[in-house]
Structure 1
């Protein structure tokens, strides 16, 4: 399709044969020939745009492509009796009709009305502007044409066709033609773009879905540290027919983004993946998986997706952790520095906090936020204080005056694990507070029955690690330089260094995708979902909304109490 579009554009640019033009000018005005050439280029550009929609099986893309191919046949003849090019367009139209059964993806039902509104709006604007220009230059009109001819001139101009009016100078006529033709083309292009937008998906879950998902997490949540994040409110669920496995996903810019491994019985994963892929094909979505583990990547690859390593997850064995030894010197010094400054930390399950204490934690977490953007998707819960998350572990840091200066939240990872979700701190606190909170969580873990603790995810960790080794090749060094440039915008290298201090084991995480040409689209959708790209609107304050919607967690009061005198200093979010 892209080749056919490029061919149309090229044929509109290449001058026609002189003999053909002479013959054509006897029947078609020169202005209409020029309009046909411009329209041919526009048809070519639209065919190139439609290629992506056709690859995703969109039925409306197919309908538009057939219509444009048929229009191209006529335009090639009108622009210069280009029979060869007309035959190519005719062949394309026939080919599209023969393979029509491949295009059945569901379009966004709102797209038709948006496309109609755009088509009508731009066309009406261009029509009105054309009438205004004719009125302004009415003293240059030849003869005394009535308002009916004015209307015909403006309407035909939207189609790129010369109307019946004649001016005593070519400039007014050209101005009307350019204005109306531009708006006519703009209306068609805008309508095509809106018509081909992928159908969105609203993450609607019933209480039964929530209970079934939590039931699977109770049984199989220990298989993947990201499993609990499937409980995010903005993720939709698609189940295996047996109900024994589920995939959580969100649709962003026509990409269906799943995160982590499927949840449930591993034998039922292929059925859940198959149902998800069928759903993607039905809606014209591009399937992609962020941050799945080795088992999940293997299952997705067997279902036809390609796999590349995305980075590594830092997992600490809490039973073997120690502050002693030279490798832990930096962490030990940071913890001791925070302790000498009077900072202390406590750990508490969320269900054991009274409502007013939990409100103080939510207040502090919001106050420490750096800006109003709530980042995270694949490895973030994006809520704090919901009574359904009573098993979450909170690490609360206070200074010597009992003011809250830092908050960590860990979500459950099965019965014996925790996964870091939220990390916020007062930027005015002493250096080493974050290390103190993390070490507190690790050292408290064994008494809580927790033997493994997942920290942050390090993108392309192997590149940083291998680039430091002797004999690193030029390609690896180039990758390292590019990642260092990216680290100036995002916490790439710093997150790797921060997690490496705890001597974790590194668990690889993968990206799954259909084809390499889909990677730019997937990257754009993923960065948007993770809130690393501006969307023009801020996410709502999910933390405070979750608290006020749920009511008391426990009547018991916590020993960790915030006095409300919180310094309004914004911190940072990381996971």
Structure 2
């Protein structure tokens, strides 16, 4: 507790002030009207009454008890986190500055809205705002400038998404003040940073891109809840929020349905609304919300099917919004399209409500390439069939009821009218509140079908979304277990464990004793290494794989195999070969850091020990949440410094660290903070581990020079204790020694290596590994036909750069020139 008070002095003091003010003034339930007139701020208070002090007093009062508790937690957690980045003095300065300037900017925005009869035109001019979250939003955005690339992006994307969503769905003046304070805080943070900051977007990893998009989908899905809990909102998306509020007349209304209505038409309409106000109508919007959240959950885990569901749901909501709140009312009230609402007519701001879900759908669709995890084809088809079946199960009985039982509906139904009414039964009732309700059930059978056909469909959509979240094209089931057993029986080299990575297709031999992991790219079956399994029989498994590829019209190619295996293929099947890289092997049994050539490594070890740096041999699951966040932040910082997307194929990332068989060697500073991470893949023979292979190797930008030498040396010492046969510092793809060109493919690989070198440093990485005096083992690519070289080169490029965009491709070509 003492440490928290010392590190978060300003935020804790501010939280205590808000509590004490509430207790001292008896404002636990919110300021009384008289006190609110004194301490509240707003357009009327500042402009008309010139109460400039109110922009500060408004930030220390909460509007109610629930808000008070939420505000105190947010001040301690959010502003406290910002204070640890900003420091005490800057936090106090930013909190005061963003409160004053944010409220001022919000008032200007509110006044501009009134002038154009926009979002704020319905809000009372004398609305008085009290809200301690205004300085919280400002300090959080200011602190983002002092955070690393990972948290800087997260704070800004999620923070502004939440602020904008609340403004659009609630639309009260305080929401505008918070958003304006966040914008002011962002500018102040950029000004306060020492290193001439630039407001630019930095590249994020595929893992982080998926996480951010999932969070955006989740936050926007929660937007309607904001409209429900906000009693007096004026936001342009508030109509969408009303979909989740059961505001139709209840059954008690039917006891005296026409009391208080001037016309029989209005009375009849209210009776119709009461008829359709069953539990199904209230449940349907909740199912839509749950499906959106389930899709966001699946996106968080990289599921492409979940991303497609999110696109479909948001596009559907955008379409329904445009139709029911824009097109249909405009047909009845064309004069009100650009003006204030009249008798249910649309306004421009209501029509624009469709743009938010449409923008979310477009954003996810444009980033669909980042979602690599696909479901099994059978499960995807079964899911689509289940949705169609649910639609038909409701629609067919409904049409039959309308045709065979016309007296069950008012007005009397027939086939055409029932068919025309079917689409509305699957639309949440909130969209239809101001529209023609279509057929109204008056009999129990019709009422049952009418009420539950929509919820049935959306329940199936929710169930399907959850199923697609858990299903994998290459699931960790029987095939994965078979592959892992074969890996333990006989890994086919230092890269053999990469066969378990997502994106690979595994083909087992007819005997089941061997397996080939490959990727099908542009008609080329690019096999990763030699067949997995015992050494005896690998050539036969390769022959079987090649025959299967020929039968399917694919070109089989073996990537990163040993020269011996490549020669065997060449001798038997007349395949051509090309050297595509070198594996760097260290033999722990003969390892000793003696001699002048090891001077740099010994110096790094001594420097690390003087600075109190230690190492920890662990797994991802054994790391604490804070350590996992630090590892992810280091990785994001590394990715952000690259000008091209992350490489794939034989180069892993954060997602590959989660495997329990993968070990991590972390470097910790004197305070226990993770400052470097390396990951190590196992290799077995006859169920006995014989080696480790380096995969991920990343360190924080502010760590000491030579840190990686220290970390790798600790792994080598550990491997020596475990009596392992080898430690591989991993293959250096496209980093070739100066050997004579063997043909067109060699030249293509060298061109690709030169182009990617500035961003990924293959040559410099090979030079770094040379410090450990490794044994270099050539890695060979074997291919059956020289005519397949162009397709093979393209397949290799796409394997390493699966997410290469058109813009990045242009940069790649420009770099080559």
Whole-Å Cα distance in 1 between the matches of residues 496 and 735 of structure 2? Answer: 22
State whether residues 613 and 667 of structure 2, in contact with CA within 8 Å, keep that contact through their aligned partners in structure 1: yes
Aligned to 2:698: 424
Aligned to 1:433: 707
Shift of 1:317: 1.2
Aligned to 1:318: 588
Candidates 377, 387, 412, aligned match of 2:649: 377
SS of 1:308 mapped into structure 2: strand
SS of 1:525 mapped into structure 2: helix
- Cα deviation 1:420-447 (Å, max 9, x = unaligned): 1111211222211111111111112223
Is the alpha carbon distance of 1:275 and 1:206 closer, same or farther for their aligned partners in structure 2, counting shifts above 3 Å? Answer: farther
Shift of 1:293: 1.5
* Matched ranges for 1:54-69 at <5 A: none
Whole-Å Cα distance in 1 between the matches of residues 782 and 648 of structure 2? Answer: 19
SS of 2:520 mapped into structure 1: strand
Gaps of 5+ in 1: 1-200, 468-475, 539-575
SS of 2:765 mapped into structure 1: helix
- Give the TM-score normalised by structure 1: 0.51
Whole-Å Cα distance in 1 between the matches of residues 489 and 562 of structure 2? Answer: 18
Is the alpha carbon distance of 1:354 and 1:438 closer, same or farther for their aligned partners in structure 2, counting shifts above 3 Å? Answer: closer
SS of 1:401 mapped into structure 2: coil
- Cα deviation 1:49-69 (Å, max 9, x = unaligned): xxxxxxxxxxxxxxxxxxxxx
Gaps of 5+ in 2: 1-375, 378-472, 809-817
Shift of 1:337: 3.2
Shift of 1:346: 1.9
Candidates 782, 793, 797, aligned match of 1:512: 782
Is the alpha carbon distance of 1:313 and 1:261 closer, same or farther for their aligned partners in structure 2, counting shifts above 3 Å? Answer: same
Shift of 1:519: 2.1
Aligned length: 327
Is the alpha carbon distance of 1:537 and 1:207 closer, same or farther for their aligned partners in structure 2, counting shifts above 3 Å? Answer: farther
Whole-Å Cα distance in 2 between the matches of residues 481 and 295 of structure 1? Answer: 26
Whole-Å Cα distance in 1 between the matches of residues 660 and 614 of structure 2? Answer: 23
Whole-Å Cα distance in 1 between the matches of residues 650 and 752 of structure 2? Answer: 24
Aligned to 1:347: 617
State whether residues 458 and 496 of structure 1, in contact with CA within 8 Å, keep that contact through their aligned partners in structure 2: yes
Shift of 1:396: 0.7
Aligned to 1:244: 513
Shift of 1:339: 3.5
Shift of 1:291: 0.7
Shift of 1:463: 2.7
Is the alpha carbon distance of 1:461 and 1:450 closer, same or farther for their aligned partners in structure 2, counting shifts above 3 Å? Answer: same
Aligned to 1:269: 538
Is the alpha carbon distance of 1:306 and 1:465 closer, same or farther for their aligned partners in structure 2, counting shifts above 3 Å? Answer: closer
Aligned to 1:98: none
Does residue 225 (structure 1) correspond to residue 497 (structure 2)? The answer is no
* Structure holding more helix per residue: 2
Aligned to 2:731: 457
Whole-Å Cα distance in 1 between the matches of residues 776 and 734 of structure 2? Answer: 12
Is the alpha carbon distance of 1:253 and 1:480 closer, same or farther for their aligned partners in structure 2, counting shifts above 3 Å? Answer: closer
Shift of 1:401: 2.5
* Matched ranges for 1:26-425 at <5 A: 204-205=474-475, 207-221=477-491, 223-301=492-570, 302-349=572-619, 353=622, 356=625, 359-360=628-629, 363-364=632-633, 366-371=635-640, 373-380=645-652, 383-386=655-658, 389-414=659-684, 415-425=689-699
Candidates 488, 494, 499, aligned match of 2:769: 499
- RMSD across aligned C-alpha pairs, in angstroms? 3.5
Larger RCO (alpha carbons 8 Å, 6+ apart): 1
Aligned to 1:445: 719
Shift of 1:215: 0.9
Whole-Å Cα distance in 1 between the matches of residues 534 and 503 of structure 2? Answer: 24
Whole-Å Cα distance in 2 between the matches of residues 358 and 483 of structure 1? Answer: 34
State whether residues 232 and 381 of structure 1, in contact with CA within 8 Å, keep that contact through their aligned partners in structure 2: no
Whole-Å Cα distance in 2 between the matches of residues 275 and 537 of structure 1? Answer: 40
SS of 1:337 mapped into structure 2: helix
Shift of 1:297: 1.8
SS of 2:697 mapped into structure 1: strand
SS of 1:263 mapped into structure 2: coil
Shift of 1:404: 1.0
- Cα deviation 1:524-560 (Å, max 9, x = unaligned): 211221128714699xxxxxxxxxxxxxxxxxxxxxx
Whole-Å Cα distance in 2 between the matches of residues 215 and 521 of structure 1? Answer: 33
Aligned to 2:316: none
Is the alpha carbon distance of 1:487 and 1:537 closer, same or farther for their aligned partners in structure 2, counting shifts above 3 Å? Answer: closer
Aligned to 2:77: none
SS of 1:413 mapped into structure 2: strand
State whether residues 488 and 683 of structure 2, in contact with CA within 8 Å, keep that contact through their aligned partners in structure 1: no
Whole-Å Cα distance in 1 between the matches of residues 510 and 752 of structure 2? Answer: 44
